[in-house]
Homo-oligomer: A and B are copies of this chain.
């Protein structure tokens, strides 16, 4: 996990080494998103298929893409998700976009990385309702997958580590560079409007940036929801305390990324803020002890809209068909 300071030092250092002027964003607490690097394309292609494959759920109906929909900002745009047999999920589905930048996964950080996260929903009775053993056995019954695992991993032996590794490799490709704000950071002065620039200044000066910093504008740290005033919610999640057992961590959640926030409504871990205007207002009051005026709120929202980057572009994957020995899905018991 890189701190704000280390990012600044890193970029400043780069500039010194290169013997050139520091980049426009060297002194900014937000950095541009970089395009993905060092991707194993074969693994990512396999992972893309798995990401879209509802056979990884007991019902045969729910895939990773059901709740982290890549047509919709990597979310489902629901307060909380719909799981196996239409169960109501406990928490708002965070976007998968740029999730490789996160310090940890899930709102409470209980998974260290994308690979660990990917195994969670498959085996969660409220989400995909399957098990790792059943998922692996199912994939092993599909000749097209066996061949592709052999190509990608050098062995047709399918196990949950390889499955989640491939999904994670695909998810690493899901970054969204080239947002208007990134182009501004990189020196394109008219890439954002004067109102948005004003919003960015206010975003920095009023303290939003204390949590929403770095290339992800969030995802780098945990913070208490309701820092200066309590946050009223019916949601039962207690955040990081569920992982650490430490009472001081109660209601501490991973700071969500603001990248593509225009697409990832509704907001907060309980999904109770439907609009950016509402979210900015609530954040000001309960995290900063500040009531933004309508004009201030509007300028911050204008800034937030500049954070929508290039969405992932790829062909809808074609899944290898089941074989005669593939266990049929069980949507209704």
Contact = CB atoms under 8 A, between A and B. Distances in A.
Contacts of A316: 70-71, 312-316
Given A78-B331, A82-B61, A72 B319 contact: yes
A91 to B, nearest CB: 14
Interface stretch (A16-24, A229-237, A258-266): A258-266
A115 interface: no
Contact of A321 (B73, B79, B277, B329): B73
Contact of A329 (B77, B263, B311, B331): B77
Contacts of A324: 274-275, 277
A321 B313 CA distance: 17
Oligomeric state, in copies: 2
A245 B319 CA distance: 41
A321 B263 contact: yes
A318 interface: yes
B60 A319 contact: no
A73 to B, nearest CB: 7
Contacts of A86: 85-86, 331
Nearest to A69: B54
A82 B59 contact: yes
Interface string A278-293: 0000000000000000
Contacts of A53: 71
Contacts of A55: 77
A321 B77 CA distance: 10
Interface string A78-119: 110010011010000000000000000000000000000000
Closest 7 CB pairs of A and B: A86-B86, A275-B324, A71-B319, A61-B82, A311-B318, A316-B316, A263-B321
8 contacts: A52-B71, A59-B78, A61-B76, A61-B78, A79-B328, A82-B331, A312-B316, A314-B316
